Structure 1
């Protein structure tokens, strides 16, 4: 007989719990497996967080990973960790509870696959500031999404705007700094009623800002800058009363601020600069919370509201290049840690506000080209933080407060074209950071203080059109960085200091229209870089030094003096341009523009001349013998002594003695900014390049660059630390440093030898068959970009090159490029809060525009310079050409041509075949992106590399067509190429 025992729930509870926990354990181990796959895909990253990611552990204990109460992974936060690799969304979206994915500010790449649609519980997705590219897939399945941050990548094509209609919970949308193809403002955005942050800066946005933007009443941060937006600011924008930031700069907007704009009282940051806006600023007078107001380069008129002086949070004000009139509010900057004011190129009058540096934080006063009156307030003489003071072309008068001359951090002092008077005080000796001194066209008087020689950073000095008198201090020759010296139209007397010939950096000297006397120093002929020499209208006497014949001068003016004797034959060709008029004592035996030198007593003169010549030659020979003997002894001591130490950075097949024996004059192949370069062929046949660098300031001219580098570093040990860091670089596109060989007073750096010279030589000097074809140019562009990418992103600490240019890109026997010449390179210190550096660096035509205003450079400055190189590669032009126009460079020339709607293909080098010109244009566009005026709009070098790779014609054709391409398929690939840039 069968019977049934009564069963209770408690009898099944153990089995139920067993099943439940088995499911839980399975699910958690599933999460671990996903995370370990993620770690494997990012294995190139050197991230300390990954040390805790191990099999067998709980994912909730993984660094950067967070779980809910049920122990399921809900958040992965690895922002700004230096991650490298590709995200596998197929795997990541298997985390069924994932709500937040934050990988912003890393170096991740690849494309976003359709697998992202499986992350249906995502509320927060941030992959901004990476190297993703390709198209963004449909996002409509991510209905829970609240924050979508995709900005600052390389996304192309059309964004899936339609999918936004499913993302009604979005509060933050950032798509800017991507080369999207957007024909007009996407109206789908206007349906996102919860949106509080919209970032569409620099994403090729066209058309007008639509009416209806005012319906996004939750908007707090609206950024639409650096696009192609036109029309007026819509009237209903005044409904966005929660706005604290509005950025509309670099567009084509016109019209006035709409009536009611004053209601946006929460605004802290307002930037509408570089548009065509007009009208007065009355609608801004109630915005008392403003911290930064940027309205420069527009057509605003009328007066500056006096209420601006009561803005207690204001720290930055830029109004330059407008039509503003009236006075500046005298209390402006009195309340806060005021930083800078830029009101140049307006019609402003009245005095300079006295209290802008009240809290000691002011860095820049820029008031050029106005009608300001009065003097410079005494309060600024103790503004130690000031770096730039520019008030030229106003109606300012009176004495300059003594302390102004010696402000310790002042880099640029510009008082030109005013009515200042009185002396330049000895305080100028304390201006150790001063690089540019411009006080021309004033009424300054008195002696030029000898202390000016202590302002050791001076590069440009212009004291012209004043009433300075007395002698030119001999110690001015201590200004070793001095490039231009303008002292003309003063009352200087005495002789020209002979030591001026020691200022080896001098490019321009103008001492015209003074009362200088005596002879022209022979030492001026030692200034090998001198381009312009004007000594006219003085009282100079004696003969013209023959040493001037060695200079390559574009201007020589010795007119209206009391010079006598024969004009050196090599200079007589300058007679026709008036270089020597007003010197009746000059003569020539061969040039009809001069009187014929008298034949009277010619035999005696010939005998005397022969005697003197013979004596001089004998003395020169004797001196040369002594010099050579001395140099030989020095070299024997220096290159043969046991004091040399070799430090190798790779396995060597040679010793220092073999190198030292080959440092000879006949092996000299160049003189760089930091030393002589020799080509050395070892007994084994190996070719090396050896740079000889002197370590002391007392050595010859070619030693100064290294001394400057050491001075910048602080001492020799820091210099060696930088060399050690550079020596650790191992990249196929960076020139290889084998070893250093050092002694007490000099160092040898031994590099690989690159037989095909520099890119500059191949582009601008070679001709015919030696000209580079497009395929080679493209490979050079990609290789050089990869080298810079490694310097910026692949080293433990970023290395800023500071002098990227085509002459510093060397080519091996296969025309593979190497980044070279690290004489100005700077390693960004890990403990530095500001990654930029203050250095006078770079080469004209390659220098980023921000340097002119801030004298600061960072990685984005290298990106700008590389953009110039790309333009060189495509156009075949030099960075500076006469055809570009006065004060214009290749960047300006290319951008103007594009802005005028000219056929861009016509900018391409005519030697490039037609079938490659379309692809050359794509590289040219990348160059334009790299040379954006604002550093923040320039891509990283990682992004540049990816953009260049995507612009390779063969690569895309092969991806799409494989090995068998039909004409139709090639057309498809070309169409995709058009979406890349």
Structure 2
């Protein structure tokens, strides 16, 4: 019994020892964490780490296992310093997350001392340089996240020695070398992302087929070439395969459609050819995107077995045959896009009946028969796009009850009958394009509130334009040429404030035109030809500021041409085949308008250049005639006296002119507008006295073309003996784009003049130069030959109107051109201003028309001077220094927008409008393309920011878009150093 107390004391000592050790360990880790906090610059987000009695396991962002620190969650903590070596003093650290910070420097080798580290997340930081060759020293790693940084060079082969890796995310970096085949040794790898990287052109290693546990393979836009290796068919665990946006060619391996677990297959925008494998056993497929390739053959009938399929994109290929009716029975199908192929036959008759179909685009094929009756049975259909086919019959009545519709494009088919009433008024309807069919019926008095484009050309619509047209407030384009419309054109149509194109030619309209124009301030094209209109032409048309095209030919107009027409800056004018009389305005009395006034026998001209009789004054008498005869005799006498001198001068000039003609013969003029000058006017004035600017692509001159003080701007693209390829492409792009498009907010290219080693582009001259000069230039020459002066500050209303005008031009390029155009170099120096500060978008040397079938589908790297360029077409330029990056960083830091405004206007009374436009700029420059608004939406928001709409100032809540910004930490998927 005497030994019992001693035994109990021994047990008590043994039990207390672990607690003492744990206590010592807690204090040590507390000290380590507090030092770490200090070395990281004491970020405010971890200020709660304090030397208190509590265990660090109770601190936020610290995770413990069995009382010891095992993980640190330090993501998005505003850390701007390099990682200190002391972090590895936490001997049991297995998880370290430092993502979404601003950590600079190279890959942190100090982490090699963290011998138990299993999960490392350094994504979305400012790391630079290569991944080190000895990265395999982190031998315990299972999860490695390095995406969204600026790592360069090669991915080292030693990464294949990290045999415990489950996840390898390296996407969205600046690697400019290769990726190793040794990755194929990572037998435990489950997820691999090497997307959005400009590797040197590389093929997919066959060794990747050894990754039997791989579930995610994401190599989108990775500069892949060659064929897809058959070995990828061995990836039995594969769930998500994305190889889109590369230059892969050859056939799609049959085995990919036999992988039992595959749900997402993205191979779009490659150069794949051959047929789609016809045997499909991968019944788990949810999304298939094989669009924009060179695939041929038919669509596999086995696709009709894919009961989980939600998206099927096969557009822009060379597919033929029919679409199986079984595809229309798929219960989960939401998106079907097969446009621009050679498909034929009937569309699946039950399409949409058993699924919640959202997008349906079968345009530009050879389909026949009728549209499926139940496309909108699910009630969420947003678009019916079936243009350019051989479809016939009537539009299903069920579409008239589809309130979710945003676009209906049925042009260039054989449809007939009336349009279901509900289509005209569907709440979200934006585009209604029905041209080139045999539709009949009349126009409703009310249209969808948001309808911006209504095209009805070449149909059999009839009846009047209803007086309710005044409610079509968002209409931008209304085309109804070649129909049977009749009656008078109502005055209410002139109250549509955003209308830019009004084409009503080839109808049966009669009566007089409205003499009061209410809101046509945006109108650029007006065509009322081939009708029965009569009376005088309203003088108010001459006050339309943006009108470029005017065609009133083949009507019964009478009276004089309004003198106010001389104020217009028309590209095209046709008043022929009417009953007009009196004087042709002097501004049109030139050869540029030689066909504009034909078949108007009572017209005349003063000092006629056109083939019209001279206008004689009734006050002329014989005395005036006698005086003129005497003057003529005097002139002839003087001429005879100096005939010898003239003959001598003529001989000298003749030699000079022969030389000039030889020189002129080497030049070729290509006109895009009607001109009132010749190439000689331009070439003779390319002197240093007329030089107004120079840049990387040549020199710019201001040249007078007449005595009235009219000028043109001439850009000399190059002047060297051998053609420079880059400048040659810029010249071709400028001519291709500006030679085919017309808009009041796009600079007008008048002509190009070319020789073997020199190219000249002749534009309209902008008196107020560029927006850049007004925003950033402290001094500038107000006109040629004047001394430098301080220019006044642009006030906010002027700036906003410039922004609206520029947005109108971009909206036209993106949405209203038959082939959309992307500018790729929008900046303030490329926004020119006329005498009224109306903007014109200029410098299309880097612009591209978006690809049509058969064209190249990828966008070349962007070169040239630096402006804001969206990340996805950027060829590697350093966007780190852009205005967008600066604005996003300030926003992410929570700094007041007021501090970012121009100090010269921030004291104005328009703070709310300026804040809204700043927010809009942030949304527009977001790194995710899907989160950016369209230019149409941008234009609408800017217009709502305008100080007055219908005379009333908009309140802040009507155009506040700050909710669109959301949480900045959630919005960007692109690296902070890779925007």
Q: Shared fold by TM > 0.5? A: yes
2:21 counterpart residue number = 20
Structure 1 CA distance, aligned partners of 2:591 and 2:400?
47
Residue 362 in 1 paired to residue 466 in 2?
no
- Equivalent in the alignment of 1:348: 367
The aligned counterpart of 2:83 is 88
- Which of 143, 147, 158 aligns to 2:154? It is 158
Return closer, same or farther for 1:114/1:13 CA change in 2, 3 Å cut-off.
Answer: same
Q: 1:531 touches 1:555 (CA, 8 Å); kept in 2?
A: yes
Map 1:751-790; keep pairs closer than 5 Å.
785-790=881-886
Cα displacement string for residues 839-891 of structure 1 (whole angstroms, at most 9, x for unaligned residues)? 636799xxxxxxxxxxxx999x99xxxxxxxxxxxxxxxxxxxxxxxxxxxxx
State the shift of 1:399 in Å.
Answer: 0.2
Q: How far, CA to CA, are the matches of 1:250 and 1:759 in structure 2?
A: 34
For 2:622 and 2:96, how far apart are their aligned partners in 1? 92
Q: Does 1:66 align with 2:63?
A: yes
Distance 1:498 1:88 in 2: 74
Aligned residue for 1:933?
A: none
The CA distance in 1 between the partners of 2:358 and 2:260, in whole Å, is 27
Select which of 475, 479, 483 maps to 1:466.
483
Q: Deviations over 1:804-844 (max 9, x none)?
A: xxxx9999xxxxxxxx99885545799x9995446636799
2:348 is the counterpart of 1:329: yes
1:563 maps onto 2:659 in alignment: no
Quick check: 2:148–2:976 contact (8 Å CA) kept in 1? Answer: no
CA distance in 2: counterparts of 1:137 and 1:31, whole angstroms: 27
Q: Residues 509 and 762 (structure 1 numbering): CA distance in 2 closer, same or farther, change over 3 Å?
A: closer
Query: In the aligned structure 1, how far is the partner of 2:456 from the partner of 2:476?
Result: 14
Task: Give the corresponding residue for 2:92.
Answer: 97
The match for 1:909 is none
Structure 1 residue 452: Cα displacement: 2.2
Question: Structure 1 residue 76 and structure 2 residue 73: aligned?
Answer: yes
**Of 531, 538, 548, which aligns to 2:555?**
538
1:522 maps onto 2:503 in alignment: no
Residue 507 of structure 1 corresponds to 524
In structure 2, what is the Cα distance between the partners aligned to 1:372 and 1:465?
Answer: 21
- Confirm or deny: 8 A CA contact 1:474 1:500 kept in the other structure: yes
Find 2:797's aligned residue among 679, 690, 693. Answer: 693
- Give yes or no for contact 2:400–2:421 (8 Å, CA) kept in 1: yes
Q: Distance in 1 between matches of 2:585 and 2:99?
A: 68
Question: After the TM superposition, which residues 118-133 of structure 1 pair with which residues of structure 2 at under 5 Å, given as runs?
Answer: 118-128=113-123, 132-133=127-128
State yes or no: 1:301 paired with 2:320.
yes
Q: How far 1:762 moved relative to its partner?
A: 11
Which structure has more helix as a fraction of its residues? 1
Q: How does 1:826-905 map to 2 (within 5 A)?
A: 826-827=919-920, 835-837=931-933, 840=936
Counterparts of 1:676 and 1:470 in 2: how far apart (Å)?
Answer: 51
Question: Quick check: 205-214 or 83-92, which moved more?
Answer: 83-92
The whole-number CA distance in structure 2 between the counterparts of 1:539 and 1:563 is: 8
* Partners of 2:404 and 2:428 within 8 A in 1: yes
Q: Tell me which residue corresponds to 2:211.
A: 192
SS at match of 1:396: strand
Cα 1:17/1:842, change in 2 over 3 Å: closer
Determine the C-alpha separation between the residues in 1 that align with 2:843 and 2:794. 22
Question: How far, CA to CA, are the matches of 1:578 and 1:566 in structure 2?
Answer: 16
Distance 1:361 1:421 in 2: 27
Distance 1:792 1:161, change over 3 A: same
Q: Is the 8 A contact 2:591 2:609 kept in 1?
A: no
Please say if residues 458 and 482 of structure 1, whose CA atoms lie closer than 8 Å, have aligned partners that are also in contact. yes
> Closer, same or farther in 2 for the Cα pair 1:589/1:466, shift >3 Å?
same
Check the 8 A contact 1:418/1:442 in 2, yes or no.
yes
Give the alignment's TM-score, normalised by structure 1.
0.63
Helix, strand or coil for the counterpart of 1:500? coil
Match of residue 292 from structure 2: 274
Who is 1:622 aligned against? Answer: none
- Structure 1 partner of 2:107: 112
| Counterpart secondary structure, 1:481 | coil
CA RMSD of aligned residues (A): 5.0
Aligned counterpart, 1:137: 132
Q: CA offsets, 1:104-130, max 9 Å, x none? A: 566666543334544554444444555
Task: Determine the C-alpha separation between the residues in 2 that align with 1:368 and 1:154.
Answer: 45
The Cα offsets for residues 648-668 of structure 1, whole Å up to 9 and x where unpaired, read as xxxxxxxxxxxxxxxxxxxx9
Unaligned runs of 5+ in 2: 1-5, 164-186, 625-766, 781-788, 809-826, 829-837, 846-862, 870-876, 905-912, 941-959
Q: Spell out, residue by residue over 1:72-95, the C-alpha distance to the aligned partner (whole angstroms, 9 max, x if none).
A: 2235274xx585646627455554
Deviation at 1:356, TM superposition (A): 2.3
Paired residue secondary structure (2:412): coil
Q: Quick check: 2:360–2:383 contact (8 Å CA) kept in 1?
A: yes
Q: CA deviation at 1:96?
A: 3.8
Gaps of 5+ in 1: 1-5, 608-667, 696-700, 710-733, 736-756, 765-773, 802-807, 812-819, 845-856, 863-935, 946-981
Q: Deviations over 1:665-706 (max 9, x none)?
A: xxx979999x9999999xxx99862516399xxxxx979969
Higher relative contact order (CA 8 A, sep 6+): 2
Alignment deviations for residues 767-803 of structure 1 (CA, whole Å, 9 cap, x no partner): xxxxxxx99969999799532113234216999x9xx
CA gap 1:170/1:33 in 2 versus in 1, 3 angstroms:
farther
Task: Return closer, same or farther for 1:297/1:671 CA change in 2, 3 Å cut-off.
Answer: closer
Return closer, same or farther for 1:100/1:441 CA change in 2, 3 Å cut-off: farther
Q: 2-side partners of 1:489 and 1:67: how far apart?
A: 80
Q: Aligned residues, how many?
A: 708
Cα-to-partner distance string for 1:365-386 (whole Å, 9 max, x where unaligned): 2212111212221112222221
Which of residues 383, 389, 395 in structure 2 aligns to 1:376? 395
Which string of whole-angstrom CA distances, capped at 9 and with x for unpartnered residues, describes residues 585-615 of structure 1? 11123115343246473449999xxxxxxxx
Match of 2:255 among 232, 236, 239: 236
Which runs of structure 2 are paired with 1:582-981 in the superposition (5 Å)? Answer: 582-597=599-614, 599=616, 601-603=618-620, 689-691=793-795, 693=797, 785-795=881-891, 824-827=917-920, 835-837=931-933, 840=936, 942-943=976-977
Cross-structure match for 1:439: 456
CA contact (8 A) 1:147 1:172 kept: no
Task: Give the whole-Å Cα distance in 2 for the aligned partners of 1:197 and 1:23.
Answer: 44
2:321 and 2:345 in contact (8 A); partners too? yes
Report the Cα offset of residue 219 of structure 1: 1.0
1:12 to 1:403, Cα distance in 2 relative to 1, 3 A: closer
Cα 1:459–1:597 change in 2 (3 A) is same
Partner of 2:508: 491
Q: What corresponds to 1:888 in structure 2?
A: none
Task: Quickly say closer, same or farther: Cα 1:779–1:248, change in 2 above 3 A.
Answer: closer
Q: 1:368–1:690: structure 2 CA closer, same or farther, 3 Å change rule?
A: same
Q: Which residue of 2 aligns with 1:386?
A: 405
- Partner Cα distance (2:191, 2:564) in 1: 70
**Whole-angstrom CA distance in 2 between matches of 1:254 and 1:173:** 26
SS, match of residue 373 in structure 1: strand
Report the counterpart of residue 405 of structure 1 in structure 2: 424
Q: How many angstroms does 1:38 deviate by?
A: 7.6
How much has 1:938 moved relative to structure 2?
11
Cα distance in 2 between the residues matched to 1:385 and 1:563: 50
Q: Name the CA shift for 1:692/1:77 in 2 (closer, same or farther; >3 Å).
A: closer
Q: Quick check: 1:185–1:209 contact (8 Å CA) kept in 2?
A: yes
Q: Give the Å deviation of 1:250.
A: 1.6
Instruction: Compute the displacement of 1:13 (Å).
Output: 3.1
Q: Distance in 2 between matches of 1:303 and 1:286?
A: 16
User: Given the superposition, is the C-alpha separation of residues 565 and 838 from structure 1 closer, same or farther in structure 2, using an over 3 Å criterion?
Assistant: same
Larger radius of gyration: 2
